[in-house]
Amino acid sequence: MQFKYGSTGGDKNFGIPFPVWEVLPVLFKDKLPKGREDQGWGAFGFISETFADKDEHPRRPRPIGTTLRNYMGIERIFLNCAACHAGVVTPAPGGQRLVVLGMPANTVDLEGFQNFLVAIANDPRFTADDILKAIDNQKVDIDIINRLALRFIGVQQMKDLIIGIGKRFEFTTAEPAFGPGRFDTFSPAKALMAWPFENIPAHERIGVVDFPSVWLQDKKRSMWLHWDGNNNKLEERNRSAAFGTGANFPLLDRASVKRMEEWLLTARPPDFATTLKVTIDAAKAARGKVLYESACANCHGATGTDFTGTFVGKTTPIAQIGTDRYRFDNYTYDLMLNQSTLYAGNAEERFQNFRKSDGYANMPLDGLWLRAPYLHNGSVPSLRDLLRKPADRPAMFYRGYTVYDPVDLGFVSRPDQIPDAAKAQLFCYATNAAGLAQCGANAPDNRDTCDAATCKGNGNGGHDYGTSLPDADKDALIEYLKTF
Q: Do 261 and 85 contact (CB within 8 A), yes or no?
A: no
396 forms beta bridges with 430
User: Dihedral, CA atoms, 443, 330, 169, 48, nearest 10 degrees?
Assistant: 60
C-beta atoms surrounding 97 within 10 Å: 15
pLDDT surpassing 70 at residue 5: yes
Give residue 34's pLDDT: 92
Distance CA 186, CA 204 (A): 11
Strand pairing report for 396-399 and 208-210:
unpaired
pLDDT tens digits, 185-207? 999 999 989 999 999 999 999 99
Question: What count of residues does the chain have?
Answer: 484
pLDDT of residue 393: 99
Question: Model confidence at 130, in pLDDT bands (50, 70, 90)?
Answer: very high
pLDDT at 63: 96
Q: How confident is the model at residue 13, as a pLDDT?
A: 87
Q: How do residues 64-101 score in pLDDT, each as one tens digit?
A: 999 999 988 889 999 999 999 999 999 999 999 999 99
Give, for 1, the enclosing helix (H) or strand (E).
Answer: none
The pTM assigned to this predicted structure is 0.95
For residues 445-451, give the mean pLDDT.
95
Q: What one-character DSSP code corresponds to residue 153?
A: I
Query: 131-156 pLDDT, tens per residue?
Result: 999 999 999 999 999 999 999 999 99
Distance in angstroms (rounded) separating the CA atoms of residues 367 and 444 = 30
Q: What is the mean pLDDT of the chain?
A: 96
What DSSP letter does each residue of 332-359 carry, written as one string?
Answer: -HHHHHHHTTTTTTSTTTS---B---SE
Work out the pLDDT band at 51, boundaries 50, 70, 90: low
> What is the C-alpha to C-alpha distance for residues 351 and 340, in angstroms, rounded to an integer?
5
Residue-level pLDDT at 57: 57
β-bridge partners, 77? 16, 68
Decide if 15 contacts 71 (C-beta within 8 A): yes
Question: What is d(CA 106, CA 34) in angstroms, rounded to the nearest whole number?
Answer: 19
Residues 6+ apart with CB under 8 A from 262: none
- Within its chain, how far is the Cα of 253 from the centroid? 22
Q: Has residue 31 got a pLDDT over 70?
A: yes
> 191 to each of 142, 172, 197, 335, 354, how far by Cα in Å?
34, 11, 8, 11, 18
